[in-house]
């Protein structure tokens, strides 16, 4: 199975500041025939189901604010929230969907400083 | 309204069984691959199982293989998860999710609110 590891486990950021979450996979999730990275980011707020933010490592899902961006390739990826808003308090997960089982990272809790 | 609604969760003793259901509405259920994902208390998300549109292909995480069975009824716009020989570590909120993607590579872009399964004596 592909192991996905996020860092940090939690971070506290001031409103309007940048938040950066890292995600590392134990093997490449770049599929050579499509040249796509099969890595997604989800946001889960308390009491709510997860919400897809980013797929193919850097493509925003429809309706997701542009302050959320994804980058990276092969095994190393980053989710950036450019200017943190109060409504962004949540746990964020990366997930590889290169193969099954589709493994998630352990999650990163984002709070307001 | 496009939505997924889970039901069937509850309290069950170790070794017992439960069948979860997920009712889909507002979209063409039959053309989508579907998944179950769970979140145990205090833990992160875990993908559990997936079923392709025509039910020919099913995949499971190792920890549930031989105990859980995913199925669907496209005529009823419904997804199911039959859970047998339940263990304490199966205690979690179970989410039904619609998959989106291509050629065997799927994310989940629509989720239900979840149903809680508690395995305890």
Q: Do B107 and A95 touch (CB under 8 A)?
A: yes
pLDDT in tens, B40-98: 999 999 999 999 998 889 999 999 999 999 999 999 999 999 999 999 999 999 999 99
Q: Which two tokens stand for residue B96?
A: 């039904």
Among B95, B105, B112, beta carbon nearest to A97: B105
Among B104, B105, B111, beta carbon nearest to A49: B111
For tokens 């999730």, name the residue.
A29
Residue-level pLDDT at B105:
87
For tokens 């039904």, name the residue.
B96
Mean pLDDT of the residues in chain B: 96
Residue-level pLDDT at B116:
98
Of A10, A61, A101, A109, which to mutate for an interface test with B (greatest number of B Cβ within 10 Å)?
A101
Cα–Cα distance for residue pair B62/B60, rounded to 1 Å: 6
Band of residue A28 on the pLDDT scale cut at 50, 70, 90 = very high
């Amino acid at each position: 199975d592909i192991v996905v590891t996020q860092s940090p486990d939690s971070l506290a950021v001031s409103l309007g500041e940048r938040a950066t979450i890292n995600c590392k996979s134990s093997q490449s999730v770049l599929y050579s025939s499509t040249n796509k990275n099969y890595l997604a980011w989800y946001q889960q707020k308390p009491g709510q189901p997860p919400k897809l933010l980013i797929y193919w490592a850097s493509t925003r899902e429809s309706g997701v604010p542009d302050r959320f961006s994804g980058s990276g390739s092969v095994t190393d990826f980053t989710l950036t929230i450019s200017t943190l808003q109060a409504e962004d308090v949540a746990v964020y997960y990366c997930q590889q969907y290169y193969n099954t089982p589709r493994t998630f990272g352990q999650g990163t809790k984002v709070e307001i400083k | 309204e496009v939505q997924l609604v889970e039901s069937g969760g509850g309290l069950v003793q170790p070794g017992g069984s439960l069948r979860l259901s997920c009712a889909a509405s507002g979209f063409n259920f039959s053309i989508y691959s579907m998944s179950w994902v769970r979140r145990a208390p205090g833990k992160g998300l875990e993908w559990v199982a997936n079923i392709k549109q025509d039910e020919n292909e099913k995949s499971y995480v190792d920890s549930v293989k031989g105990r859980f069975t995913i199925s669907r009824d496209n005529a009823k716009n419904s997804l199911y998860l039959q859970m047998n020989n339940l263990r304490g570590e199966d205690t979690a909120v179970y989410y039904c999710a619609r998959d989106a993607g291509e050629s065997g590579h799927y994310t989940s872009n629509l989720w239900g609110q979840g149903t809680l399964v508690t395995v305890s004596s």
